[in-house]
Homo-oligomer: A and B are copies of this chain.
Amino acid sequence: MNKQKPVRLRDLAFELNLSVSTVSRAMSGKGRISDKTRARVLKAIKKSNYTPNDVARSLRMQNAMSIGIIVTDITNSFFASVIKGAQSVSREKGYSILLSNSDENILYEAEAMQLMLEKQVSGLILASVGNNGPRIDQFRSLNIPIVFIDNTPEPITSFDSVSTDNHKAAYCLTTRLIEKGYREIGMITGPLNQSSGRQRYEGFQSAMNEHGAPLRAEWIREGDFQMESGMVLMRRILETARPPRAVIISNNYMTYGAAKTIKRMGKSIPDDVALASFDTDDPTSLSSPTIASMNQPAVEIGTKAAEILINRLTAKQPLPHANLVLEPVFTDGDSW
């Protein structure tokens, strides 16, 4: 009904005939205080529904105990899992999560980073769209650590990162395809100015070259990691005079789009064209065919990123930069 003023330390102190500082010490357990008054205070707090004002505490402590997370799209199950992982570690260690979606928009990303600065986050976990140099420098100069995930800036100079061995993942996937007898293989890559996109493309190239398989330009298209581009580019590839027998697709969304297009064109996977992908593993999926895929350990990326971040935040002395590269996890499928 009527707005009730929140209880402050001052109110408790008044009620107990104590000073604010004593009540504060009773709560925190720091500083000198007798067991008797401590008990008295704690008892009073119990039934007073006192809620500490963390904003005030943050200001005084110069530490908001919060971690910013910026991802490009929270509805992408990969990022959702990353966030879940990061959240569980953060909770344990007493950090809260400030979330922002950049919608793959570099302007929104910059805005979000600015917000994180203003909110005085202790650290940032960032899945960056592209290069966002000036803003990143600001974090560096304020000594606010960033852990990059998914896309890592290159060269990885002075930041932490958690990523997957994308080169290896693509290399293995391609090699398996070749071992299965496919030689005419195309690829829908991600943006080549993003590390994940380029590394996967390079892994593909390596494997193809090593096995003497042909790299044909019209079988290779650069997408943008969105479903739309998977649909469009797969159609283009299949409409070439002599389409490839298999296509590697650089992420989950483009694969979904590509598979839809293939079905819509009345063709079959893998009889007309085989597919291999990244990050399509999903225990809940009823996908048919199931897609052979190299998957990033998403939850682990989240937990590791949070651990590295918090580790740095609580370290006494400067720490070397951690650039963790996790192994991709293969899941087989009927798509090849």
Contacts and interface: CB of A to CB of B under 8 A. Distances in A.
Interface of A: 3-4, 6, 49, 51-56, 58-59, 64, 66, 73-75, 77, 80-81, 83-84, 87-88, 91, 96-101, 103, 108, 111, 114-115, 117-120, 138, 141-143, 227, 252-253, 256, 259-260, 283-288, 291
A100 B291 CA distance: 32
| Most chain B beta carbons < 10 A, residue from A75, A77, A120 | A75
A74 B64 contact: no
In the A-B complex, the 3 residue pairs with the smallest Cβ-Cβ separation, listed nearest first, are: A288-B288, A286-B287, A54-B118
8 contacts: A51-B114, A55-B55, A83-B101, A87-B99, A96-B119, A97-B98, A98-B98, A259-B286
Contacts of A100: 87, 91, 96-97
A113 to B, nearest CB: 11
A65 to B, nearest CB: 10
A238 B119 CA distance: 54
B4 A143 contact: yes
B284 A118 contact: no
A252 B114 CA distance: 37
Contacts of A91: 100, 108, 111
Contacts of A55: 55, 58-59, 64, 119-120
Contacts of A56: 59
A51 B137 CA distance: 13
Contact of A142 (B6, B115, B285): B6
| Most chain B beta carbons < 10 A, residue from A52, A81, A227, A285 | A285
A215 to B, nearest CB: 28
| Most chain B beta carbons < 10 A, residue from A119, A141, A143, A286 | A286
A115 to B, nearest CB: 6
Given A75-B80, A87-B99, 10 more contacts: A54-B119, A54-B120, A55-B58, A55-B120, A74-B80, A75-B84, A83-B99, A88-B101, A97-B100, A285-B285
A49 B51 CA distance: 35
Contacts of A283: 227
